[in-house]
């Protein structure tokens, strides 16, 4: 029988929550090239997608910059003119492979079926192909019904799938999170997260935390694995003891989903997750190192750069908190940590930019002249993009053709951020409608 499955790559992005109303999304079936794009609130963020590209099957597919930019360009059309989605706002980006199918009985076998298909061969082999996770019950029912019909089977009862409840749903209610707050003292957002994701099993997560910590009651319910998200240490222990998690990737991607929500946050949470799992599973130092490496390798498929695999612990830790504000007068636009920041800067880099700007601010009024921009950039060793500085200045609305034109610090800072983002995105040029006078990426929650 000829191949009936045709793999297709679909890329998804996660953006900060403020880009979408909490209870409303958008789907556009008429994009510039005919593909469907959606923009939906999801797990405290906003998920956007998707592409649809024929691909080969691989264990860890990666999104391409071209696909990411296509999704961003499509959703930009639906936002207010004063709201811009930049590449640096992307928190996570991943590619999944969906199994499209060809009906071997169709007149045109090149046509693809985007839902599931049941095929019965001449030899009596029944094959179910295609479909998606959200329709697995319907797929199962139809397949069994076909077998009953084809082979004259005599089932003892009708299909029960419509009455079989999901694990965790039996004692759940939409106000259950209040009881978790009252009984275990957890933060309301953590309680809502546990109730929403575990259903009535949230009681087991909380009880496990209580037993685990003894006199330090509820400590692992109060300790988040990352400060920006409601995932707590007790969930890691629960994943190991009750959900068969055996690797750090199992936890950050397949149990807690943090890697899908924010790849850099997952990167920062890795050491603590590994320590908890090591205690539960009796890992030695060598195993902990291997898990750390595998975790980083996985996160390179979620939008983080390959350079994290060679990053020193010092470089990774430098992203947390503030660093010395002393001016270095040299900005490294391609250091490994800069990939995480994209268009944002470390405190040390901001200090260098401020110090250089003040030297060219002859009147001390917060302005420099357009003629001073290139010397300023040279003084802090900004690399010249392939297409020069002019496109970035044009996109920011800076009249650089007028040497005496006054330029504010925010304009210079935004241009530097866009140059840095483009440098780390392999030379991406600014779009013609780019408005850089928005909230800089370093204050907006990005990025990968």
State pLDDT tens for residues 301-350: 998 888 888 865 445 544 443 222 233 345 555 544 444 444 466 667 77
Nearest CA among 261, 256, 301 for reference residue 276: 256
Nearest CA among 190, 212, 194, 211 for reference residue 202: 194
What is the pLDDT at residue 309? 86
Can you give the pTM of this predicted structure?
0.71
Tell me how crowded residue 366 is: count the other CB atoms within 10 A of its CB.
13
Q: Would you state the structure tokens that stand for residue 443, as one six-digit string?
A: 């204050």
Query: Over the stretch 51-107, which tens digit does the pLDDT of each residue have?
Result: 888 888 888 899 888 888 889 888 888 888 778 787 888 999 999 988 888 877 765
Query: Over the stretch 338-370, which tens digit does the pLDDT of each residue have?
Result: 444 444 666 677 777 888 888 888 877 778 988
Grade residue 442 by pLDDT with cuts at 50, 70 and 90: very low
What is the pLDDT at residue 356? 84
Mean pLDDT, to the nearest integer, of 105-110? 60
184 phi and psi, to 5 degrees?
Answer: -120, -5
Nearest CA among 190, 192, 201, 131 for reference residue 166: 201
What is the pLDDT at residue 231? 96
pLDDT above 70: percentage of residues in the chain: 82
Give the C-alpha distances (Å, rounded to integers) separating 40 from 20, 24, 30, 178, 446.
Answer: 7, 7, 17, 26, 18
In angstroms and rounded to an integer, the radius of gyration of the C-alpha atoms of the chain is 26
């Amino acid at each position: 029988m000829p191949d009936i499955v045709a793999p297709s790559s679909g890329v998804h992005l996660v953006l900060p929550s403020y880009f979408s109303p909490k209870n409303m999304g958008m789907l556009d079936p008429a994009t510039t090239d005919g593909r469907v794009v959606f923009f939906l609130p999801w797990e405290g963020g906003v998920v956007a997608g998707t592409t649809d590209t024929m691909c080969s099957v691989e264990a860890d597919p990666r999104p391409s910059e071209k696909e990411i930019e296509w999704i961003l360009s499509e959703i930009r059309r639906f936002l207010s003119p004063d709201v811009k989605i930049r590449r640096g706002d992307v928190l996570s980006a991943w590619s999944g492979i969906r199994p499209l199918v060809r009906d071997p009985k169709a007149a045109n076998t090149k046509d693809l079926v985007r839902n599931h298909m049941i095929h019965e061969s001449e030899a009596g082999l029944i094959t179910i192909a295609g479909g998606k996770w959200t329709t697995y019950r319907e797929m199962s029912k139809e397949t069994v019904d076909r077998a009953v019909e084809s082979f004259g089977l005599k089932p003892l009862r009708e299909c029960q799938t419509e009455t079989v409840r999901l694990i965790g749903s039996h004692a759940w209610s939409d106000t259950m999170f209040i009881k978790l707050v009252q009984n275990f003292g957890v933060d309301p957002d953590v309680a809502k997260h546990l109730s929403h994701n575990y259903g009535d099993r949230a009681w087991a997560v909380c009880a496990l935390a209580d037993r685990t910590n003894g006199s330090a009651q509820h400590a692992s319910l109060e300790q988040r694995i990352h400060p920006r998200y409601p995932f707590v240490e007790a969930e890691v222990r629960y994943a190991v003891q009750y959900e068969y998690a055996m690797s750090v990737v199992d936890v950050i991607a397949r149990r807690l989903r943090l890697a899908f929500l924010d790849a850099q946050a997952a990167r920062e949470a890795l050491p603590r997750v590994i320590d908890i799992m090591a205690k539960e599973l009796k890992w030695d130092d060598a195993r902990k190192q291997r898990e750390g490496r595998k975790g980083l390798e996985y996160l390179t498929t979620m939008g983080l750069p390959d350079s994290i695999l060679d990053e020193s612990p010092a470089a990774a830790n430098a992203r947390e908190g503030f660093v010395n504000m002393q001016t270095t007068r040299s900005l490294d636009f391609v250091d490994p940590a800069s990939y995480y920041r994209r268009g944002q800067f470390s405190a040390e880099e901001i200090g260098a930019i401020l110090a250089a700007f003040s030297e060219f601010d002859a009147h001390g009024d917060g302005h420099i002249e357009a003629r001073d921009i290139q010397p300023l950039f040279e003084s802090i060793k900004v690399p010249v993009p392939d297409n020069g500085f002019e496109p970035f200045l044009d996109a920011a609305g800076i009249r650089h053709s007028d040497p005496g034109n006054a330029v504010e610090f925010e304009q210079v800072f935004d241009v530097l951020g866009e140059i840095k983002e483009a440098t780390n995105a392999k030379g991406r040029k600014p779009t013609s409608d780019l408005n850089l006078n928005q909230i800089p990426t370093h204050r907006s929650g990005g990025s990968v």
